[in-house]
Amino acid sequence: MNDMVLRQNILDELEFEPSLNAANIGISVESGVVTLTGHVPTYMEKNTAADVVCRVKGVRGIAQDMEVRPVGSHRMADEEIAKRALNILSWSAAIPDGAVQVQVDDGWVVLTGTVEWNYQKIAATEAVRGLAGVFDVANNIQVRPHVSSFDVKKRIEDALKRSARIEPSDIRVAVDDSGRVVLEGHVKVWAERSVAARAAWSASGVHAVENLLTVA
């Protein structure tokens, strides 16, 4: 697929996404690597745009250069954003009560704290990224479970074998004692990199994933 065709497919997919207004989003493509520019009114739409691009066949990489420019009802004071963030986190069944702390500076949200599972760390970002007035979210939450690297490696490899979307024999998994996972090898399309990364993050004991998988 050439870059012109890929760019048009991405434009069509962005226009097809009902939760996103793509009117102010710019797209450039070079050798399958997509760069997004322009601006959107919310951080949620910025993430949605990236997710939409990643699911298009032929995408080999993505660079996010979009800005968040809140307007009208999307503008919010830092104190109000912090209050709403803490409130929505307290209602999340996935996040232990009091495990996550919130700091807000000019719409930039920083999450800190400690949890046992990566899905809890992800849930914290998912909970606050849709709040009005949020420009960006830095997730500095630490994942600190108590499992061996051997167990983590086996759980990830088993998860990859169960997946119908990827070929596990093409992926190598390495795990060190700190819970850092390295994925090497190759996949058929860009979206499969995310599938493999999610499988790695789903294992208890993982605190970092280095995704070195290439699209072949």
* Average pLDDT, rounded, for the chain: 90
pLDDT at 183: 96
Compute the distance between CA of residue 200 and CA of residue 159 in angstroms, rounded to an integer: 8
What pLDDT digit, counting tens, does each position of 27-41 carry? 999 999 999 999 998
Does residue 181 carry a pLDDT above 80? yes
Using 50, 70 and 90 to split pLDDT, how confident is the model at 74? low
Residue 69: pLDDT band with limits 50, 70, 90: confident
Angle between helices 78-90 and 118-128 (to 10 degrees): 130
Q: What is the mean pLDDT of residues 157-180?
A: 87
What pLDDT shows up at residue 149?
A: 84
| Res. 1: pLDDT tops 90 | no
* pLDDT computed for residue 73 by the predictor: 60
**Per residue in 7-21, is it b (16+ CB within 10 Å) or e — as a string?**
bebbeebbeeeeebe
d(CA 23, CA 15): 9
Residue 111 pLDDT exceeds 90: yes
With a cut of 90, say whether residue 169 has pLDDT above it.
no
Tell me what pLDDT residue 146 has: 66
**For 98-107, how does the pLDDT look when each residue is reduced to its tens digit (9 = 90+)?**
999 999 998 8
Rounded-to-integer distance, Cα 188 and Cα 165, Å: 10
Q: Residue 204 phi/psi, 5° resolution?
A: -65, 135
Q: Is residue 212 predicted with pLDDT exceeding 90? A: yes
Please say whether the beta carbons of 133 and 107 come within 8 A. yes
Q: Distance between CA atoms of 213 and 190, rounded to whole angstroms?
A: 9
**Cα distance between residue 216 and residue 202, in whole Å:** 25
| pLDDT tens for each residue of 113-168 | 999 888 999 999 999 988 888 988 999 999 876 678 888 899 999 999 888 778 88
**3 state DSSP class of 37:** strand
Question: Per-residue pLDDT for 6 more than 90?
Answer: yes
Binned at pLDDT 50, 70 and 90, residue 12 comes out as very high
> Does residue 203 surpass a pLDDT of 90?
no
Does pLDDT of 108 surpass 70?
A: yes
Partners of 108 in the beta sheet? 105, 136
Would the pLDDT of 214 be above 80? Answer: yes
* CB distance 172 to 183 below 8 Å: yes
CB under 8 Å to 140, separation ≥6 — which residues? 110, 111, 112
